[in-house]
Amino acid sequence: MENKHLETLRKAHQNFNQRDLDAVVQMLSPSVNFTDHGHHHEAHSREEFKSWMEIFIGMSSDVQLFDFSYIAGEGNWVTARFTAKGTNDGMFENVPPSQKRFEVDICEVWHFNKQGEAFEGHHYGDALGLLIQIGHLHEAAH
């Protein structure tokens, strides 16, 4: 039998790719506790989480999520691994667009409550690698 929380997260990722951010935030508890560990960003409401997603869409209008792998864990935990790909065609952290392509592997871990809402989320992505790929930082010499 398919895990309902896994399916909820899968649908949220599909909605992100379709830019239906209002549908994405419906999976969240109104008082979600979300941390983007790579960018040191937190969101504590659906609106704050939506604003966080808008940052990435603003820096890359064509960003899409690909190559998903989902694991349902014990105690209503779900883990997702996927790749984000896009072009830096918008401002990112006060830096002008570079028009360079990027590809970043991401892992998310979500905890769902009895109502089927995600009340805790952790997002792990290679923020340094992203900045290097879009040309805002240079890779250190070996």
- Compute the distance between CA of residue 70 and CA of residue 108 in angstroms, rounded to an integer: 10
Which domains are seen in the chain, by residue range? 4-133 (3.10.450.50)
Place of tokens 């290679």: 126
Whether residue 108 contacts residue 18, with contact meaning beta carbons closer than 8 Å, is answered with no
What is the DSSP code (8-state) at residue 41?
E
Query: What is the pLDDT at residue 1?
Result: 35
- Collect the ranges in the chain with pLDDT lower than 50: 1
- Strands in 26-76 per DSSP E: 28-36, 41-43, 64-72
- Other beta carbons within 10 angstroms of residue 41's beta carbon come to 15
